[in-house]
Structure formats: C-alpha cells, structure tokens
Amino acid sequence: MQIELSAVVPVPLRDRIRQRPSDIWDREVAFQPGQFVKIKAPSGTGKTTLVHYLYNIRYDYTGTIKAGGKPWADYSAAQLAAIRQDNISVVFQDLRLFDQLTAEENIELKRVMNNKPLYPAEKIREFAEQLGVTHVLGQSAATLSYGERQRIAIIRALMQPFQWLMMDEPFSHLDEGNTAKAAKLIDQECRARNAGFILTDLDHDQHFNYDVTYQL
C-alpha cells in the first residue's frame, strides 16, 4: 500500500512551516511499499502530528493524504478499522498502554484482536526475551519504567499483521544495547513481511538501513 502526501500543511503550524525548508510539509511525497523511511526533525516541528495524520487520527491539515491510491477521507469507518487491524501498525510517542492491564495483557489484547491471530501466544515471551522484558510481563503497565513501556509497546505493535509499521521516537528511553536489540527485532519482522517502516526521530541514526531520509 503506497502512502502519498500532496501539499500537506498542518493548520496550527502553517506560519512556522513557511520559515524553514521541509521535505514533507507542502510537498509531493510518496512512501513506497516496503521502503524503510526515516523522518528526522528537531523537537516541535511536527513529528507526532505527522504520524497522527498518516494513521488518520488527526485531520487538521490542508492538502491530501492517500493510502492505496485513495484519500483517507474516502474510506468508511469500517474500512479504516480493517486497515488499522491488518495493514498499519503504530507505536505512538506516548505509547498508549493500558495502565490497568499488565504488560502481557497489553500485548495479548493486540494479538487476539484479529480473528486469526498472526502469532501464537508463545511469541510474546519469545519477543520479550529478545528485548529483556520477560521479568516485567506480569507487572501492571502503570508500574513500568518508560524504557520498559517502550519495549512492551514495540512488541505489541509486532503482534498484528501490517504492511506499514510507524514508530514515533520509539527508542528515546532505551540505552544503546537495548536499542540495538529492538532495532534488530523490528528489522527482522518488517523484512519477513515485506513491510515498510517509518521512523521519526530527532537526529540521524544507524539503527536501520534506510532507503530514504526526509527532513521534516
């Protein structure tokens, strides 16, 4: 599924955007299926805003975003729900874990959301071991450190099928070793599904072999 942006400008950032060049805002951009895309931007330039537009949960922009050749606005609520279940997975900057559930329950919820789960339940433990969070699986999400929460949110995002995986500063609270482990798992999962990957971050990074880097 190709994602295309045509002259997209966030309404609240309209005046600020004119003051600096951007590869994304007010441009024609196409994210091709399977591409690894890095979006680099200083704090406050709209990374989170962009991810929310790409996932179609925020609409305060001018211009058009198309997914699979069709503007987001032309999809029905049922079609959008199906796309979020099967085609696009996301790790938001604020992670959006359910604090009243355990870490494992947060992941399991996503795993069983599809009638036919992509992975068996054992996969949760396997990924948790790879990311060093097995010991917190039974803990309530509210009690986890931010770095633990990030790893749980990453594992949760990998539990569903996707053609695109989007992550908004997913490693901000992880040390180098844990970042490398998480990047390896993400890379492996995207490649296995021939899925595209969009990562937003403040700076350049070497965690992935990006096909393209945009300055927001």
Residue ranges in 73-112 that form contacts with ligand ATP under rule CB under 6 A? 93
Q: How far is the CB of 129 from ligand ATP (least distance, A)?
A: 30
Cα–Cα nearest to 178, from 120, 123, 118, 136: 136
Site track for ligand ATP across 40-79, x = CB under 6 A: -x-xxxxxxx------------------------------
Strands of 212-215's sheet in order across: 88-91, 164-168, 196-201, 36-40, 212-215
DSSP string of 155-182?
Answer: HHHHTS--SEEEEESTTTT--HHHHHHH
12 binds ligand ATP (CB under 6 A): yes
Cβ pair 87, 163 in contact under 8 A: yes
# chain residues binding ligand ATP, by CB under 6 A = 11
124 binds ligand ATP (CB under 6 A): no
Q: How far is the CB of 55 from ligand ATP (least distance, A)?
A: 13
Closer residue to ligand ATP (CB): 48 or 139: 48
Strands 61-67 and 3-10: what pairing?
antiparallel
Site residues (vs ligand ATP, CB under 6 A)? 12-13, 41, 43-49, 93
